[in-house]
Structure 1
Amino acid sequence: MEYDALVIGGGACGLMCATQAGLLGKRTLVLEKNDKVGAKILISGGGRCNYTNLHTDIENFISENPAFLRSAFAQWTVDDTMDFFKQHGQITGEEKTLGQLFPKSNKAKDIVAVFTKLMYETGQDVWLNTEVVSVSPVDDGYAVAVVKAGKQKMVHAKKVVFASGGLPVAKLGASDFAIRMAKKLGLQIVATAPALVPVTITGKDAPWYASLAGNAVFSRVYNDKIAFEENILFTHWGLSGPAILQISSYWRAGESFLINLLPTADIEQLIKKERNAGGKRTISQLLQPYFTRKMVEALGKFLPIDLKIASLSKADAKLVADTVHHFPVKPAGDKGYDKAEVMRGGVSTDELHAKNLESKKYKGLYFGGEAVDVTGWLGGYNFQWAWASGYLIAKDL
């Protein structure tokens, strides 16, 4: 069978690429290591799939060159994503927190079904349980070595698309295959690391965090680069929750960040108001309306919570404000790729044409999705990049 392109990976980018290619009258072969396509889509958003974000902008992405995204998001917009799923799957979106768009059905499988239906209708082929071993340039394109049903085969195509994702969630077939092949071909790679990942706390502070396991607190988590206001979640091994996952993408080993545990109020003003009312309540009583009893008790490690406000010295008042609004955290590390939502880094955007994501050095070789040095925030941004990159590549096949 002659194909216009081989697509390595049946995830978000690969499925969009093959589907759009089919709608343009082209034939692709999708090579997927799992026994089904869209494995990571199916578990996203707790199985509900936040398939885009209404506020998508290049500022919501980490890359050595965020401006590289301008072309992609001009060619495939959030409206295009919404229209695509509505037209081909009768999927209408429902906005949840901070612009996240979920299918009204709350079923990620409905998103995957759009692609499988269209690929069938347009005659795209899919080889499941197929591992790609190598991709080598040859005179008339590329020779791709695969292992299918325990047997090695060679497949040839003029064009090859790397849409094989990154390292997070190995049990779903994640790998660094695209990165390894890009390195082998001499392409520049931006250092990779887990992103959108929980952080761990060890040492003398570990028991304090563990004692609060299960407590969620709406907070402002920040460093000198950025700030996020969402929930944090205390765990037996450290911190998780949306705000922690977000800041993790901007955190490096050895660094610290700060947490404002009460971004909706000003402790100094609350203390002042309490003093004016006689200051009979204790710090513990002052904090109780804002935190769980367990959280207030835990803060007693750092604060004189049984002291009455009227007895607070200026130093004590400052200590309370600093602890609540500027709580310092120095993680020992993170939970790694198995718990990370995405991978940071990847094939450098300097190696790719912005208009179609084709390699500048190898004609007919494309990289999209997570394999590229483009990492979105939590909340549907990475899907929008996957759809956009798949579309850009498909137009050029």
Structure 2
Amino acid sequence: MLILHKNNNINGLMDADAIIIGAGACGLMCAVQAGYLGKKVILLEKSDKPGAKILISGGGRCNYTNLFATDEQFISNNKHFSKSAFTQWTVDDTVSFFEAYGITGKEKTLGQLFPDGKNAKDIVDVFTSVCADFGQQIICNAQVSEIEFVNDSSFTIKYEKGGKQRTLKAPKLVITTGGLPIPKMGATDFALRFARKHALNIIETAPALVPLTITGKDEDWYAQLSGNSVFCEVSNDRISFEENILFTHWGLSGPAILQISSYWRRGEEINIDLLPGKDITSLIEEERRVNGKSLLSTLFNRFYPKKLTDAMSKFLPIEKQVASLTKAELELIHKTIHLFKVKPAGDKGYDKAEVMRGGIDTNELSSKTLECKNIPGLYFGGECIDVTGWLGGYNFQWAWANGYVIAQNL
């Protein structure tokens, strides 16, 4: 049961300057930054180890920031909310922080920074070792059951560990328990339940950075292409992304699909340009001049896996010589290649989502401190807030920035 109520009887000394619930990216950074300032914190983590989601990120390699990260790559009902945090803690700050502990970044694609010669475990080890140096305590397998606001001056947190009920007290409370994706890794709605219990507004949540499903008459067409990847531009009327898409036996995945999924709403179509930066009509005309007897499939095979070329026979005359293509057929080819429309049935849900869209309304929080406006001393950080980043290290940058900002104000 998650409750917050006032108790006018204040007894005992404080156990720490702050209690942090959730030892993920934001909570760990907050603990370390608090340590730099000489503040003692205690982290409570329901899983059996800290940084569980960090450890699986990027297939265990951990894309820990993005060199191009700004507030522009984030979705929120208040698009300006993230600006303050990113001003206080920049990408350069993230890079310098990890370099100070022996982790240098290696850029992969589109600004994505991975540890050079190291992995996600090394990222988590930085935080756990620094926490140990500062005497910051991380208590795992801790299930918080009750939160009590004592005499407007402190929080009492009751939690269970090893079958025993325990209690902690601190003047500040930080909730960084993440969102709903990947429940098997310990994802929880703790922050959302707590917020609703205490009348904080919640922006509707949904899976984000998530594969999209195809059902009905087109299902088999996508399934036969499972495992094939193609560089495309994927768009809707709000945004576009140029990256690979991956066909699967249940629909579409890959970086471009994950990106657009955060902007997709059920019932909408998405557009796929299967040959971005080129014009298929011009390529056909050029092929006609060189060898008019060449088949359309031969041209397609230069750009696509053979399976995709063969599958295009459902829509296009791929075994026809390019010299014989009619004007109507050329228009159909152009439309199919550059404006391939897909209407997903749904998404793969929180089990496969990288992050959650929506969350605690930013209007409930100070953008400068991340303190709750109506409950002094209470802070929220990370994924549970209505700020959702693109794929590619952006959400980690948000978590690090949140941890820093909160620590400065404890």
**TM-score calculated relative to the size of structure 2:** 0.95
CA distance in 1: counterparts of 2:150 and 2:211, whole angstroms:
43
Name 1:259's counterpart in structure 2: 272
Of 106, 113, 118, the match for 1:106: 118
Is 1:40 aligned to residue 53 of structure 2?
yes
Aligned length, in residue pairs: 396
Q: How does 1:306-345 map to 2 (within 5 A)?
A: 306-345=319-358
- In the alignment, the residues of structure 1 paired with residue 140 and residue 50 of structure 2 have an alpha-carbon distance, to the nearest angstrom, of 8
Contact 1:4/1:158 (8 A) holds in 2: yes
1:155 is aligned to 2:168: yes
Match of 2:257 in 1: 244
Aligned match of 1:364: 377
Task: Report the equivalent of 2:9.
Answer: none
Matched residue, 1:394: 407
Letter in 2 for 1:236: H
The aligned residue for residue 58 of structure 1 is: 71
Specify the alignment match of 2:386 in structure 1. 373
Counterpart amino acid of residue 209 in structure 1: Y
Q: Tell me the secondary structure at the aligned position of residue 146 of structure 1.
A: strand
Alpha-carbon distance, 1:277 to partner: 3.6
Query: Is the CA contact (8 Å cut-off) linking 2:15 and 2:168 kept in structure 1?
Result: no
Aligned-pair CA distance for 1:20: 0.6
Q: How does 1:13-92 map to 2 (within 5 A)?
A: 13-87=26-100, 89-92=101-104
The aligned counterpart of 1:208 is 221
Q: Which amino acid aligns with 1:238?
A: G
The answer as to whether partners of 1:85 and 1:92 remain within 8 angstroms in 2 is: yes
Question: Which residues of 2 match residues 182-201 of structure 1 at below 5 A?
Answer: 182-201=195-214
The CA deviation at 1:198 is: 0.4
Cα offset, 1:278, TM superposition: 5.4
Alpha-carbon deviation of 1:314? Answer: 1.1
SS in 2 for 1:164: coil
2:145 to 126, 133, 144: 133
Task: State the shift of 1:10 in Å.
Answer: 0.5
In the alignment, does 2:317 pair up with 1:304? Answer: yes
Q: Secondary structure at the match of 1:246?
A: helix
Which sits farther off after the overlay, 277-286 or 260-269?
A: 277-286
What is the CA-CA distance between 1:293 and the residue it aligns to? 1.1
Q: Is the 1:161–1:368 Cα contact (8 Å) retained in structure 2?
A: yes
Measured in 2, the distance between the counterparts of 1:142 and 1:193 equals 31
Partners of 1:136 and 1:284 in 2: how far apart?
Answer: 69
1:10 partner letter: A
Distance 1:2 1:52 in 2: 33
The residue identity in structure 2 corresponding to 1:135 is I
What amino acid maps onto 2:66 in structure 1?
A: N
Tell whether the 8 Å contact from 1:134 to 1:181 is kept in structure 2 after alignment. Answer: no
Query: Which secondary structure does the structure 1 equivalent of 2:82 belong to?
Result: helix
Deviations 1:235-279 (A, max 9, x none): 111111000000000001111101111114210111222233452
Structure 2: distance between partners of 1:309 and 1:375: 46
Tell me the distance in 2 between the aligned counterparts of 1:278 and 1:284.
Answer: 13
The residue number in structure 2 matching 1:120 is 132
- Gaps spanning 5+ residues in structure 1: where? none
Tell me, yes or no, if the aligned pair for 1:216 and 1:234 is still in contact at 8 Å.
yes
Among all aligned residue pairs of Structure 1 and Structure 2, give the percentage whose two residues are the same amino acid. Answer: 61
> Counterpart of 1:160 in 2: which secondary structure?
strand
Paired AA for residue 239 in structure 2: I
Whether 1:271 aligns to 2:301 is: no
The amino acid across from 2:187 in the alignment is A
Deviations 1:303-351 (A, max 9, x none): 1111112221111101111111111111111001010000011111111
How far is 1:141 from its partner? 2.1
Question: CA separation in 2, counterparts of 1:303 and 1:141?
Answer: 69
| Partner of residue 143, structure 1 | 156
Say which SS state the counterpart of residue 300 (structure 1) adopts. helix
Report which stretch shifted further, 128-137 or 383-392. 128-137
What stretches of structure 2 of length at least 5 have no aligned partner?
Answer: 1-13
Q: Matched residue of 2:205: which SS?
A: strand
- Using structure 1 for the length normalisation, give the TM-score: 0.98
User: C-alpha distance in 2, partners of 1:254/1:70?
Assistant: 32
**Distance in structure 2 (CA, Å) of the matches to 1:152 and 1:197:** 38
State whether structure 2 residue 109 is matched by structure 1 residue 97: yes
CA drift of 1:2 comes to 1.9
